[in-house]
Structure 1
Amino acid sequence: METAASGQGAGAGVAAEPQRLTVLGATGSIGSSTLDLVARNRERFQVVALTANDRAEELARAAIEVGAEHAVVADPAAYPRLKDALAGTGITAAAGPQAVREAAARPADMVIAAIVGAAGLEPTIAAASRGTTIGLANKECLVCAGDLFMAAARAASATILPVDSEHNAVFQVLERGNIDQVEKLTLTASGGPFRTLSLEEMRHVSPEAALRHPNWSMGARISIDSATMMNKGFEIIEAFHLFPLGPDQLDVLVHPQSVVHGMVQYRDGSLLAQLGAPDMRTPIAHCLAWPRRMATPAQRLDLAALATLSFEAPDPARFPALRIAREAMIAGTAATAALNAADEIAVRAFLDRGIGFLAIAATVERVLERMAAAGDLAEPSCVEDVLRIDGVARAMAQEAIAAQAG
């Protein structure tokens, strides 16, 4: 397996034949950005399959635009709409979770794994088990099942390339062959929309305010997770699985401008950093072209215009999610799977105005404590175990939220 963890492989030049590409989660933010790059570089790619949850018409338009061979919706109810939209195009259509897994396992040179949530776990493992190159944007593969996913990738000699801007930044500056010389890896965080608010002010923030990320345009859950900094906790867990470093070598630094995405500190005192505009097409392009480079329309940095880049340590009192995520990482895969599930339920409750902003992290911590006390955090040996832990955590989170409402 070639991964960001191993830092191996010099790679080859640009292939004479187009790269065969599958995009899981084609209608989401990462998927749409990927297809934008594909459309700008048509000669480089042949799209094998695209998948989406239930946005049938949007998926069909994308499939037609990039000349995909196959399109799949996870929701069977959306299949008639997809089939009608693709009628006469020659693009085959399918529906259902099994069809998504089959699409992921189709022969391809690279699979961009961008399905949001636990639904992306099995399709991404199916792709990795084929030994293909995975552009990994699904957090749950590493947060919920990091050991299982990496084991499947190693067994099939798959190549894992990180799409998340922070992990991709580290991958770019992590010197191959010098991993044993690394002192520290630092992921940056914008601090979200509430970086300067007091605890009391944060207690009363609205979902609308929490969704207004200062630098990135993202989906609802990741926007809230960025506001609580739980997302950065997830990213520390991902880094733990991607890079062969100990928990004490993984750090977070708040950087409001979101220009420096990741840094690696070496034992000789060198600090290497990757900088770029906050545009996901940059790390996606890095994965699509790796180990080469390809052009993107991303804005170029003007450091003179920026003038100042600032950094600060995260405040553990106002952002306890970072601590909770670290503790779960040390506890093991069962705890991180429960962490993700409980957070998803708590975020949804906040968006629905069922709980306050500060109750998100408090709910997640309460669920982890209850599951540990009940003996529900035994390490998973298969995906089914992960899904069972996920279900228990979701149920406990709903009970905790209902108790608060009562």
Structure 2
Amino acid sequence: MSNILLIDDEKAIRKTLQEILTYEGFKVREAGDGEEGLKMFNEKTYDVVLCDIKMPKIDGIEFLTKANSINPDVPVIMISGHGTIETAVEAVKKGAFDYISKPPDLNRMLITIRNAMDKSTLSKEARVLKRKVNRVQEMIGESEAIMRIKETIDKVAPTDARVLITGENGAGKELVARWIHHKSPRSQMPMVEVNCAAIPSELIESELFGHEKGSFTSAIKQRIGKFEQANGGTLFLDEVGDMSLSAQAKVLRALQEGKITRVGGDKEIEVDVRVVTATNKDLLKEVEAKNFRLDLYHRLSVILIHVPSLNERRQDIPLLVNKFLTDIAEEYNQPLKVISDRAMDALIHHNWTGNIRELSNVVERLVILSGPTIMLEDVTHYVFAR
């Protein structure tokens, strides 16, 4: 059910419109003046606002300006019995979706409301998709370790040097890899990601190098592997320490010669790929245990970047929390929530075994379950009491 905020200082008008809109299937909340309406607008997300222009305390135009600064995605339809063409033009210039004179033509009002909702939905979907396609997630942090990583990326990205990124799960290794690609001359070409731990050992070679039709039972057609897909760009091998020894040998050859051969084929295919890898394992210990090739380790680790755990960079937690609050408010199309100092202090001193991934999930949980301000009691109840 769509939510409408109706703001008008005339009680009879509110009652009439509320009955009509409720009958049409809308859920309506009423405010008797602009100040009350602005408070209600801050507390909840609405699909459409119907707002009178001439009101005490805060008039409709002032409400419109403030509402657009809080959440520009919510369309505001202005209504007035004292309207002129100049008033209508001013309202639209300041961001109103439309202007309706009193007494409103009910059919026109309902059509305008539905048009406003359709436009709002399309705008939000387009903005979210554009953000997902174009935005490289920002690397948040001012700790010494993060600043050092940023400096290293700036130096390494313009080259084709292979980079090995180490760190715990959820610490942000993928983000480092994406920034290396984003700042490199290859940024306009694809970055192809492979989670080596998620692919069965018997399929990893086909995944990386592709296969020819009929090369094994289920190979009903030719498959292009990740090396070919990343040609000209960057291949990110996540959890490379979980790769089989057989696949390691082929990756080593591809790095040495710049050529690959599909499974079941004999044709050598040249590939121009920058390889960036990541692991949560100590690869030198894996070498000692005969689980990882020493020659491949040296090929991959031209540049070593270690991403610290969140517990090792607690001074960055407030920056991360505020970034997540902003991102979640945009994604859910809700007013931005704030967090109290005591609640933030509790998050700073929490033991983050899941690192940034866990922190992001916790902030999302708090946004969904808490009030307009996230309090210490919310953190205690929704984070610690598990």
TM-score over 0.5 for the pair: no
What TM-score, normalized to structure 1? Answer: 0.23
